[in-house]
Amino acid sequence: MRLVLLGAPGSGKGTQAARLKDYLQVPHISTGDLLRAEVAAGTPLGLQAKEVMARGDLVSDEILLGMLKERFSREDTRAGFILDGYPRNLAQAAALDELLASLGQTFDAAVQLVVDNEQIIERLAGRAKAEGREDDSPESVRHRLKVYDEKTAPVIDYYRQHGKLVTVNGMGTLDEVFTRIVEAIQPGHDIG
Ligand code: AP5
């Protein structure tokens, strides 16, 4: 199974991807995690990305595509993957199609988790307190939501038009959301 997980910041992509990884036995590829690892390791790429991420802007398409190409060159992605955090704009969506086509692949569905903004702000304020993620400050969260509306929301329409979109209610307990995703990706379920 090859899945793309979409949704606003704090919609639960990372949390559900970690569960889906075990359920589907395919790797979870989070571009946010890949970038945070570069930042933590202090690599030149990490140094370039650090401030951009802290304020909630998008890191350059070129950096992201380079990271993604490297990740998809590894054997473990051949049997499937859960891609979380990419694509975040239409240029990235086109780049993903091209990259997968060059590998003789495509993906099965783009799963969009839908959560209202009030709940998102509450969740990320909780994580800011618990984990201190720099981009969970109220100012960065506001900016990330704006960037999502302006740049990432068009990707949802793109996948709808291409018959790839599955919309899942992301409100409720972790188990409830997970069950909904699993139902939505069953063979025969209406995608598009
Ligand atoms: P990234 O790490 O992808 O951040 P994000 O999309 O803002 O996602 P989050 O991790 O905040 O939210 P999530 O939807 O994964 O929710 P989670 O499960 O964590 O990207 C960070 C930055 O990297 C970007 O801003 C950008 O700068 C850069 N970047 C990454 N990819 C890029 C790309 N493709 N192009 C350019 N730049 C890129 O849950 C959030 C919280 O809610 C957690 O505390 C969780 O425990 C809680 N929670 C989850 N589900 C529930 C639930 N059902 N009920 C209650 N609480 C819940």
15 is in an annotated binding site: yes
11 is in an annotated binding site: yes
Distance CA(112)–CA(87), nearest Å, equals 12
Burial class (CB in 10 A: 0-12, 13-18, 19+), 148: buried
Let me know if residue 189 belongs to a domain.
Answer: no
CA of residue 157 to ligand 1 center, whole Å: 20
Task: Give the structural domain span for 129.
Answer: 2-184
Let me know if residue 173 belongs to a domain.
Answer: yes
Domain count, the chain: 1
Q: What is the ipTM of this complex?
A: 0.97
pTM: 0.96
Whether the pLDDT of residue 191 is over 90: the answer is no
Let me know if residue 190 belongs to a domain.
Answer: no
Based on its alpha-carbon atoms, the radius of gyration of the chain, rounded to whole angstroms, reads 16
Q: Answer yes or no: is the C-beta of 58 below 6 A from any ligand 1 atom.
A: yes
Structure token digits, residue 150? 């302006």
pLDDT tens per residue, range 10-55: 999 999 999 999 999 999 999 999 999 999 999 999 999 999 999 9
Let me know if residue 192 belongs to a domain.
Answer: no
pLDDT tens per residue, range 105-139: 999 999 999 999 999 999 999 999 999 899 999 99
CATH number, domain containing residue 51? 3.40.50.300
Let me know if residue 164 belongs to a domain.
Answer: yes
Q: Answer yes or no: is the C-beta of 9 below 6 A from any ligand 1 atom.
A: yes
